[in-house]
Amino acid sequence: MHRRPILQLLNTYEPYDSDEVSLKEKIINFITYHPDCFERTCREGHITASAWITNAMGDRFLMTLHKKLKLWLPLGGHADGDCDIHRAALKEAREESGLKSLAFVSKDIFDICIADYITPTEPFHQHYDFNFLLQIRDRNDQIKISEESIDLQWFSELPESARTIGNINENINRLYTKWKRWMAGKAKNGKLPK
């Protein structure tokens, strides 16, 4: 079954808080009952893959000013039929950032989210997002703005709009908190935050 690997990955994921406990259950149910969950044609929603990207030092993170949504967001996008969620996340991160030396800090899930997706040109649907922590391995690697972005910037604090706008602000704040915990603990063991 093409959904088995992502379900196994999700089953081993330890939720950060009660919100993620509920999200995990909803995402498992969605994947279980939607064989086409990796396809954009799944009307209810579909799997997306994203990345919280840090610089080589790990002390700054990259966000995109999304062209359609006009919000500062982590980089990522649709799985487009690819049931290998790691490959999809790395592909999207590289395409949207222009960074060639990106690598997984861990293959474990960094965060999960269900985001309502509403634009003037598309019907309402949800993105069942899997986020991974990625880091630049080459300090000389340079970002390059893609067609999907208005801007790309490195931050050490969340931009104001990411804290206050949209139904995904809770997710972005949780990602930011997890990154701060990872930064604080990486000198000790380099593991993802619990």
pLDDT in tens, 51-87: 999 999 999 999 999 888 788 899 999 999 999 999 9
Note the pLDDT of residue 184. 87
pLDDT category at 167 given cuts 50, 70, 90 is very low
Q: Using the 8-state DSSP alphabet, how is residue 100 labeled?
A: S
pLDDT reported for residue 66? 83
CB 52 within 8 A of CB 104: no
Average pLDDT over residues 152-164: 81
| H/E run at residue 182 | helix 169-185
Per the domain annotation, does 191 fall within a domain? no
| pLDDT over 90 at 43, yes or no | no
Residue 127 lies in a domain: yes
pLDDT band at 164 (very low <50, low <70, confident <90, very high): low
DSSP lists the bridge partners of residue 119 as 122
Confidence of residue 101 (pLDDT cuts 50, 70, 90): very high
In a domain, 63, yes or no: yes
Q: How confident is the model at residue 166 (pLDDT cuts 50, 70, 90)?
A: very low
The whole domain housing 8 covers 4-185
User: Which CATH number do you get for residue 107?
Assistant: 3.90.79.10
| 194 or 169: which leads in pLDDT | 169
**Cα–chain-centroid distance for residue 69?**
16
- 69 within a domain of the structure (yes/no): yes
The predicted model gives 141-162 an average pLDDT of 88
- Give the DSSP letter string of 102-153: EEES-SS--EEEEEEEEETTEEEEEEEEEEEEEEES-TT------TTEEEEE
In a domain, 192, yes or no: no
How many domains is the chain built from?
1
Q: Residue 30: what pLDDT?
A: 97
Q: CB within 8 A of 122, min separation 6: which ones?
A: none
The residue among 45, 1, 51 whose CA lies nearest residue 23 is 45
Q: Report d(CA 160, CA 72) in Å as an integer.
A: 9
Is residue 126 a contact partner of residue 117, using CB atoms and an 8 Å limit?
A: yes
Strands (E), the chain: 45-54, 61-66, 72-73, 75-78, 102-104, 111-119, 122-136, 149-155
Please provide the average confidence, as pLDDT, over all residues in the chain.
89
Task: Indicate left, alpha or beta for 131 from its phi (over 0: left) and psi (-120 to 50: alpha).
Answer: beta
Of 12-26, 63-77, 161-175, the one with minimum mean pLDDT is 161-175
On whether residue 173 sits in a domain, the answer given is yes
Task: Name residue 114's beta-bridge partners.
Answer: 128
* In the predicted structure, residue 36 carries a pLDDT above the cut 80: yes
* 12 within domain boundaries: yes
Is residue 62 in a domain?
yes
